[in-house]
Structure formats: C-alpha cells, structure tokens
Amino acid sequence: METFQNLISKAASFAWGPVTIVLLLGTGIYLSLGTRFIQFRKIGEAIRSLFSKGDGAEGDITPFQALMTSMAATIGIGNIVGVAAAISTGGPGAIFWMWVSGAFGGATKFAEVLLAVKFRITNENGEKSGGPMYYIGRGMKEVYGKNYNWLGWTFALFALIASFGTGNMAQANSVSEAMHVTFGINPVITGIVIAILTALVIIGGIQGIGKITEKIVPAMAFLYLGGGLVAVLTNASAIPGAFGMIFTNAFTGRAVGGGLIGTVIRLGMARGIFSNEAGLGSAPIAHAASQNDDPVNEGMIASLGVFIVTMLICTLTALVILTSGIITIGETGAMVIEGNVAGAALTTVAFNRLLPGVGGYIISLGIIFFAFSTIIGWYYYGCKCVEYMGGVKLVNYYKWLWVGLTFVGATVPLELVWNLSDLFNGLMTIPNLVGMLALSPLVFQMTKEYDERVEVRQTQHTY
C-alpha cells in the first residue's frame, strides 16, 4: 500500500507540475488577448447583471445562485490552508504569482462558462445540463464535424473521481478535524451530522442547492473577510511591509531554503489555479443551469468568481499571515517562520496573534463552512458527470453514495484520498483545455458580436 501511495503522490505532483501550470497560464493569456481582457473591461457590467432575476430566460437558477453555487465549490479549505502552504514553502513572493494566475484566469473562466451555456441541453427531467463534457462533445462536433464524445466522457470520468475526494471526503475530514480540535466533538458525531445536512440540501436538486448557496456563501465570505480585515487593521502599520515582502520575494530568485525563483512562481501559480479552479472545468457545470440566455453575459458573471476568491479571500489570508509578525525575511533573503508552523496551523496562529481568543474560532468556522459548501457544490458537479455518462436514473444512486462518503470522509485518515484528488483534478484540465482551445475562435467571435451589439445600443441611446 505504501508503494501505491508513493506512486499516486508522484503522479499527482506531475499532474500539477510545470507542464500543467504553463498550459493553464498560457491558455489564460491567450484567451485574455483574444477577448481584449474582458475580465477587466466588463467587470462593472458583470456586477450589474449578477443581480438580474433571469425572468423569461431558460434555466433552473438565477445568475446570482449560479455564481454562488460555483463559488460554494470553489471557496474551500484551499483558501485558508493552500495560501499558507504556498507562503511557508515558496515564500511571500508566491502570492504575487497567485495574483498573476488570477488575473489571466478570469478570461479562462469566462470562456469555459460561455461555452457551457452555448452548448447546454435540457435533460429528460426538464433541467439544464452543461459543462466541458457537453461543449467538448456537442461543440466540437458542430464546429469540426467530428465526434469527440469520448473526450467529453473522459472529462466526466476524471471529474467524477475527483469529486469523491476533493469535493467530498477530504472536505468532510477537514470539518471533523476542525470540530474536534476547536470544540472537542467526536468525528463520528460530526460525520453523522454532515451526512444528514448534506442529504437535506441535495435532495432538492439544483434549486435546493441554489437556495442554500445564495445564503451560505455570502454569509461565510463576509464572516471571513470581515474577521480578516479587522485582524489586518489591528496591525495596519505592517501592511506596507507585507506588500514589500510579496513584491521583493517574487523576483529575488529565492524560495524557502534558498530555492530558485521557479519554485516561487510554480507554487504561486498552482495555488492560484487550485483556489479559483479556472481551467479545471468545474464551475461551468453550475453556470450552465443559470437563467441566462446570453452565453457571453454569463461568462462575464462567472469571471467575478476568480476576482472574489483569488484577489479578495486569498489575498486577505496572505495579509493576515504577513502582518502578524510570524514571518521575517533576513538580509540574505532567507525566510524564517516562528515556531516552524505551516498550513492551517500557520493561518490559525496568525489570526490568534492579531485577534487573541477570537482568531482561532474564525479559522475553525471558516474551514467548517467553506468545506461544507464545497461538499454541496461538488455534489452537483459529480451529479451532472454521472448523468452524462450513464443517464438521469443513475443520479439517485449517486446521491446516496455521496451522502455515505461524507460520513466515511469525516471518520478515516485521508492521505491517499488527497493524492488521488490532486491527480484527477490535474487530469480534468487536459480535456477541458483541449475543448476550450479548439473552440476559442468561437469564443472570440461571440465576444466580438456581443461588443458590437452593446456599442450599437449605446449609440442609439446617445441619439
């Protein structure tokens, strides 16, 4: 078993290695140029469209609920643990490269959601179904006249396997650990409660999920952002120094232990991509259910998720850590971490130092709510993958398997599950990138036509 675990660990490291990072970043740059950086120039319009009710448009949930559902799956423990891991291993400069990945990732998220809405279908239950498996299969057949369903099926399989780990068992384990450490609650009890709550939410389908996520995601985001902002402001004089560490370390060529700048860049890029999921192909599955008949407009709304997750939540986590005084950079560029803590412990210690007696609870509650929302969001992703591969009827079996796995995840060690999750998360990107790049001319054409329509409306309004 140990040999198998080592093999999976190495495979996961390769799947999230330099090749994958370069492909994802390169795709983001290419799509940014082709859409004239739509993730920035249309941000105002995206915010205004976010709160439209979707009256008269086909779909199952409002655009706001679609974004919250995708963010429910995206905002996870990676925003707390992952940022700390990037800093503790790669140094503060990793945050700069996380920003870079987020800046270009907005165009990637825009493109994949545009395609998901463009090529979505209505299933036999009258629900909308879409995502990479559909735009790879239907989209590439429409454009190139060849059957690529096998590639769409490959994405669905990889995403389904990843959902069991990344979206379920690993998240449930994080909740049970946080409950045990903070409140002394037995993991078995936590597992039972999580399983029951999950069942109550997902039994209502995407409408039930949308109603829960539109409440829980804003609440948990404001809780974490509010607590983090207060924590940083308690030592506001350290903020300039924190940014100084980020920018200086990003280009000094040193990671922890004197590693090369490539390590800093790779860790920052990987953590940014892992936190906002741009290019993985997961978020388009949720946005395909949106009550929005305009694929370009829905893509713009989706790009907001990258900004919120990477530029706000991840950045605030980094600032709490860097203003707490736990990390110092010596004259040689070497980084010293007080107590040699890492991961969740680093974030917890930083919050506790800035907000004594309260900071630890903010982290614990953040992990609990972030992880539970991820379980809900990833259920829907896996649900649509099962539907694509085996039909709607199989979803009922999948539903109860999902509930059972939340209990298992909360009560057993999960090192192998984490490695398998990382592996298949990385593998998901391959068919998704193939589909996006193959259909990129269509993305650029639809974006150009949208811009022209907007320009005509503005001209008519002027006169």
Q: 3-state DSSP: the chain helix, strand, coil percent, rounded to 5?
A: 80, 5, 20
H helix or E strand, kind and range, residue 171: helix 170-183
pLDDT score of 258: 45
pLDDT score of 80: 75
d(C-alpha 92, C-alpha 87), whole Å: 5
Handedness of CA 39, 45, 46, 47 (dihedral sign): positive
DSSP 187: H
Q: Is 453 helix (H, G, I), strand (E, B) or coil?
A: helix
Q: Is 396 exposed, middle or buried (0-12, 13-18, 19+ CB in 10 A)?
A: exposed
d(C-alpha 73, C-alpha 60), whole Å: 18
220 within 8 A of 75, measured Cβ to Cβ: yes
DSSP 392: T
Count CB-CB contacts under 10 A for residue 234: 15
Which amino acid belongs to residue 171?
A: Q
Q: Is 415 exposed, middle or buried (0-12, 13-18, 19+ CB in 10 A)?
A: exposed
Task: Please write down the HEC assignment for all residues of 393-440.
Answer: CHHHHHHHHHHHHHHHHHHCCCHHHHHHHHHHHHHHHHHHHHHHHHCH
H helix or E strand, kind and range, residue 317: helix 315-323
Q: Is 20 helix (H, G, I), strand (E, B) or coil?
A: helix
Tokens of 408: 């298992």
Please report, for residues 229, 247, 326, the alpha-carbon distance to residue 233 in angstroms, rounded to integers and kept in the order given.
6, 20, 16
- Going residue by residue through the chain, which has 463 residues, state the pLDDT in tens, using 9 for 90 and above: 667 767 877 777 777 777 888 888 899 999 999 999 999 999 999 998 887 765 667 888 888 888 888 887 777 666 777 788 778 777 888 888 888 888 999 999 999 999 999 999 998 888 899 999 999 999 999 988 888 999 999 999 999 998 888 788 888 888 888 788 778 889 899 999 999 999 988 887 778 888 888 888 888 888 888 999 999 999 999 999 999 888 887 776 554 444 455 566 666 777 677 677 888 899 999 999 999 999 999 999 999 988 888 888 889 999 999 998 888 776 656 667 777 776 677 888 888 899 998 888 888 888 888 888 889 889 999 999 999 998 888 888 999 999 999 998 888 776 666 667 778 888 889 999 999 999 999 999 999 999 988 877 767 655 5
* 2-456 placed in CATH 1.20.1740: yes
Q: CB within 8 A of 167, min separation 6: which ones?
A: 73, 374, 375, 377, 378, 379, 381, 382
366 within 8 A of 223, measured Cβ to Cβ: yes
pLDDT score of 125: 86
395 within 8 A of 383, measured Cβ to Cβ: yes
Q: CB within 8 A of 139, min separation 6: which ones?
A: 115, 118, 119, 435, 439, 442
Candidates 376, 74, 411; CA nearest to 198 is 376
pLDDT score of 54: 58
Please report, for residues 160, 238, 277, 398, the alpha-carbon distance to residue 404 in angstroms, rounded to integers and kept in the order given.
16, 46, 26, 10
